[in-house]
Amino acid sequence: MSELETTTIHKSACRMCHGGCGVLVHMTDGRIKKIVGDPDSPLNRGKICIKAPASIELVNHPDRLKFPMKRAGARGSGEWDRISWDEAYDILAERLGAIIEENGAQSIAIGTGTGRHHCEFVPRFANALGTPNWCEPGHAQCFFPRVNVSKMTFGDLPICDYYGDTDPDCVLVWGHNPAVSGPDGELLFHSRALTKKNTKFIVVDPRRTLLAEEAEIWLQVRPGTDDAVALAMLNEIIGAELHDADFVENWTFGFDQLKAHVQPFTPEWAESISWVPAEKIRAAARLFAASKPSVVEWGCAIEHSPNSIQTARAIACLPALTGTIDIPGGWVFGSHILGEFPFLHDRLEEDVKAMRLGSDEFRLLGRTNVIPSAHIPAVFEAMRTGEPYPIKAFLIFGNNPLATYANSALVRDSLANVEFLSIMDLFMTPSAELADLVLPAASWLELDALTAFPFFAETTALAQQKLVQVGECKQDEVVFAELAQRMNLGFGEEDIESIFDARLEAVGKSFQELTRDGFAHKPITYRKHETDNAGFNTESGKIELYSLALEKLGYDPLPTYREPPESPLSKPDVARDYPLVLTSGARILNFFTSEHRQLTRLRRSHAEPLVELHPETAIKFAIRDGDWVWIETRRGKIRQKAKLTDGIDRRVVHVEFGWWFPERDGPEKGIWQSNANLLTDQGPPYDPAMGTYQLRALLCRISKAPAPL
């Protein structure tokens, strides 16, 4: 280092996944040199994963989109003209203005992806624009089923208390792999650390994960049948009177109804459905009931099936029965450090809200949801058919729709039908190649953001600060405000710092002050329901084993089982041709959704997409470890490389999701080769309340494939 160079250290929060691990960013003469964990962060306490240092490569990557671009040739031809932001805003204002005038704002759909820095600003922008139709591939099938179920059952979202002096005695890990996925970043480190302590693990997963290896009990469930297992655990706990009778009596509502309801759902009944031996289900129920404090780590696998709400409801009833709620080391409610986010929901008139696609049928998704959203299949159908009204424009801010929505071929056909497609992204993805306008997005080191973690519990507020500028990249939030100004929307025009400052009033700091400190923390207090007999924020004031909210919406108030729509039991005729059960998308440490495939540091140790097979299944099809394998469903056919493991059932196949190959020439960049969503289905049936479609329990067949060219 020359004598003139100066190094400064800045606090920020890593956003290479949707977590927010506190980090220290070392800068020398305006360049990022090093990213290390912030030991002061109450969340990750100095730990980071391999993705955080790879951010430096992301910031400087030669393939980054750096300027707005407008399509020059035919759609998907890969021909682009560089334009200025001014011109981009002119195009947007003109095209959107014309659609609003002719068809109404509801004919503009807004898309985004999961939990990134701007995720709350996207529905806010949709509201500002006047459209009820915003969507993201992870909303009905990721986290929001859990959030909504929690609000309806407990009045708030419980999180696992890893933050105080008491460790959980038992962790019930359900359809979740936090030791890899985070997913709020720091959970990765907490879950791994607990395996070294006395905490016992029960893991419900079709694959033997790192935590399953360490577990007291591993329930190797057939994909998509978690509801049956959870109901049987309720049956066992209630039938053997293992529940906390005092807690149930004082703090829950509907125990007698639940008791009568779960009587038929014996562990033997669940065994015949889920392939999990009845004795193991009993043992898991008994261990969970005997442990206090205990927690549930539930993940998105329970939400990748069309019974997402009732599956989450059945699981949520378990800790309610054992009374491990809001106690040290238990399932606790957060401290909600920030003031409310200004979503601008009231900007939409009731008749406009009523036009939200799919909201008549999926009333939890489209109406009472904590952030009401449109039904994805209905949005794509409106693009294709113009029914019930046309979607003329789709504006996407951070989503690669061909990679992450179900049934990529249908998605492609739907996108081809919209008159105007605009995509804002860090890179020219295969989906962005189909757009008319592409906008360059700033990465997490290039923007200011305020986020509170864990999501919806908000014990810790984190500031990200803009440290570098790449090309003409902008952060999405700024684009929303500038576009709102350009279009004279009269809503959503404020600068983002004023929004951050308003949310931080409760903390007593400005955003600038938070930026200096990196974070603000509000510790969790316990047994809040006992304080002044406050109870729970539900209609009955108690934990609702019987959900009055669901009943009011016209859905089952008690948890139910529903066989996956394409399974050996529900479609035996299809199973004759497609005899294996397919699941998809278990998270990979190196990547985030369809991201990071271009970062050499992360790609090096996971170069190709892998399909997991049992060695005996592989022998049947003459497949060896490392061979390319065709995986085929009734929707499509892809190739991934065989990874043989006896940690998966002989009847089950797991494919990775999110795969495309940024290094390939041509605009398609290999999106049609190994992409799991060529196999999945967007069709009905959906979760009756949330509209969830099926990503993880389908029927497939396999065969040996030649290596792709």
Task: Give the Cβ contact number of residue 490 at 10 Å.
Answer: 10
Q: Which is nearer to ligand MGD, 584 or 673 (CB)?
A: 584
The residue assigned the tokens 């004598």 is 3
Q: Which is nearer to ligand SF4, 182 or 688 (CB)?
A: 182
Based on the shown chain and the rule CB under 6 A, indicate whether residue 426 belongs to the binding site for ligand MGD: yes
Q: Quick one: DSSP state of residue 346?
A: G
Q: Which does 591 bind (CB under 5 to 8 A by kind): ligand MGD, Mo ion, ligand SF4, none?
A: ligand MGD
Q: Which helix (H) or strand (E) holds 136?
A: none
Q: Which stretch binds ligand MGD (CB under 6 A): 153-161, 287-295, 412-420, 692-700?
A: 692-700
Among residues 427, 380, 372, 365, which one has the least CA distance to residue 400? 427
Q: Which stretch binds Mo ion (CB under 5 A): 110-118, 195-203, 594-602, 676-684?
A: 110-118
Q: Which is nearer to ligand SF4, 160 or 287 (CB)?
A: 160
Rounded to whole angstroms, the Cα distance separating 256 from 242 reads 15
Among residues 339, 325, 338, 255, which one has the least CA distance to residue 296? 325
Among residues 9, 4, 45, which one has the least CA distance to residue 24? 9
User: Would you list the DSSP string of 495-533?
Assistant: -HHHHHHHHTGGGT--HHHHHHH-EEE----S-TTTGGG
Q: Which does 48 bind (CB under 5 to 8 A by kind): Mo ion, ligand MGD, ligand SF4, none?
A: ligand SF4
Total number of residues binding ligand SF4 (CB under 6 A)? 13
Rounded to whole angstroms, the Cα distance separating 211 from 176 reads 10
Q: Which is nearer to ligand SF4, 464 or 677 (CB)?
A: 464
Q: Which stretch binds Mo ion (CB under 5 A): 102-110, 131-139, 330-338, 577-585?
A: 131-139
Based on the shown chain and the rule CB under 6 A, indicate whether residue 440 belongs to the binding site for ligand MGD: no
User: 634: alpha, beta or left, given left = phi > 0 and alpha = psi -120 to 50?
Assistant: alpha
Range list of β-strands (E), 382-525: 393-397, 420-425, 437-440, 449-453, 460-464, 519-521
- As measured in angstroms, the least distance from the Cβ of 399 to ligand MGD is 4
Rounded to whole angstroms, the Cα distance separating 216 from 213 reads 9
For β-strands 108-112 and 170-174, DSSP reports them as unpaired
What binding mask, one character per residue, do residues 12-41 give for ligand SF4 by CB under 6 A, x or -? Answer: --x-xx-xxx--------------------
What binding mask, one character per residue, do residues 452-481 give for ligand MGD by CB under 6 A, x or -? Answer: ------------------------x-----
Rounded to whole angstroms, the Cα distance separating 344 from 355 reads 17
Rounded to whole angstroms, the Cα distance separating 644 from 233 reads 32
Based on the shown chain and the rule CB under 5 A, indicate whether residue 114 belongs to the binding site for Mo ion: yes
Rule CB under 5 A: choose which of 25, 49, 142, 327 binds Mo ion.
Answer: 142
Among residues 702, 580, 575, 579, which one has the least CA distance to residue 641? 702
Q: Which is nearer to ligand MGD, 325 or 406 (CB)?
A: 406
Rounded to whole angstroms, the Cα distance separating 555 from 228 reads 18
What binding mask, one character per residue, do residues 660-679 give for ligand MGD by CB under 6 A, x or -? Answer: ----------------xx--
Rule CB under 6 A: choose which of 52, 159, 270, 300 binds ligand MGD.
Answer: 300
- For residues 109 and 502, the answer to whether their CB atoms sit within 8 Å is no
- For residues 77 and 69, the answer to whether their CB atoms sit within 8 Å is no
Rounded to whole angstroms, the Cα distance separating 440 from 472 reads 7
Rule CB under 6 A: choose which of 113, 185, 224, 293 binds ligand SF4.
Answer: 185
Structure tokens at 585: 């998308």
Please give the backbone phi and psi of residue 267, each rounded to the nearest 5 degrees, phi first: -60, -30
What binding mask, one character per residue, do residues 304-343 give for ligand SF4 by CB under 6 A, x or -? Answer: ----------------------------------------
Total number of residues binding ligand MGD (CB under 6 A)? 65
Rounded to whole angstroms, the Cα distance separating 115 from 513 reads 24
Rounded to whole angstroms, the Cα distance separating 633 from 152 reads 36
SS3 407: coil
- As measured in angstroms, the least distance from the Cβ of 341 to Mo ion is 19
Quick one: the chain helix, strand, coil %, rounded to 5? 35, 20, 50
Based on the shown chain and the rule CB under 6 A, indicate whether residue 51 belongs to the binding site for ligand SF4: yes
- As measured in angstroms, the least distance from the Cβ of 583 to Mo ion is 15
Based on the shown chain and the rule CB under 6 A, indicate whether residue 640 belongs to the binding site for ligand MGD: no
User: Terminus-to-terminus CA distance in the chain, angstroms?
Assistant: 45
* Residue at 518: amino acid letter: G
Based on the shown chain and the rule CB under 6 A, indicate whether residue 276 belongs to the binding site for ligand SF4: no
Based on the shown chain and the rule CB under 5 A, indicate whether residue 138 belongs to the binding site for Mo ion: yes
Based on the shown chain and the rule CB under 6 A, indicate whether residue 188 belongs to the binding site for ligand SF4: yes
Rule CB under 6 A: choose which of 13, 14, 17, 327 binds ligand MGD.
Answer: 17
- As measured in angstroms, the least distance from the Cβ of 510 to ligand MGD is 24
Q: Which does 14 bind (CB under 5 to 8 A by kind): ligand MGD, Mo ion, ligand SF4, none?
A: ligand SF4
Q: Which is nearer to Mo ion, 142 or 171 (CB)?
A: 142
Length of the chain: 709
Q: Which stretch binds ligand SF4 (CB under 6 A): 44-52, 222-230, 431-439, 654-662?
A: 44-52
Q: At what angle do helices 476-486 and 85-102 cross, to 10 degrees?
A: 60
By the 10 Å C-beta count (0-12 exposed, 13-18 middle, 19+ buried), 86 is classed as exposed
Based on the shown chain and the rule CB under 5 A, indicate whether residue 299 belongs to the binding site for Mo ion: no
Based on the shown chain and the rule CB under 6 A, indicate whether residue 285 belongs to the binding site for ligand MGD: no
Q: Which stretch binds ligand MGD (CB under 6 A): 5-13, 171-179, 499-507, 550-558?
A: 171-179
Q: Which is nearer to ligand MGD, 155 or 299 (CB)?
A: 299
Rule CB under 6 A: choose which of 106, 235, 429, 465 binds ligand MGD.
Answer: 429
Based on the shown chain and the rule CB under 6 A, indicate whether residue 179 belongs to the binding site for ligand SF4: no
The residue assigned the tokens 């209609």 is 539
Rounded to whole angstroms, the Cα distance separating 160 from 156 reads 13
Task: Give the Cβ contact number of residue 392 at 10 Å.
Answer: 24
Could you list the residues that contact Mo ion (CB under 5 A)? 114, 138, 142
Residues that bind ligand MGD (CB under 6 A): 17-18, 113-114, 116-118, 137-138, 141-142, 174-178, 181-183, 204-207, 209, 221, 223-224, 226, 299-301, 304, 397-400, 403-404, 424-427, 429, 441, 476, 583-589, 591-595, 657-658, 676-677, 680, 695-697
What residue ranges bind ligand SF4 (CB under 6 A)? 14, 16-17, 19-21, 48-49, 51-52, 182, 185, 188
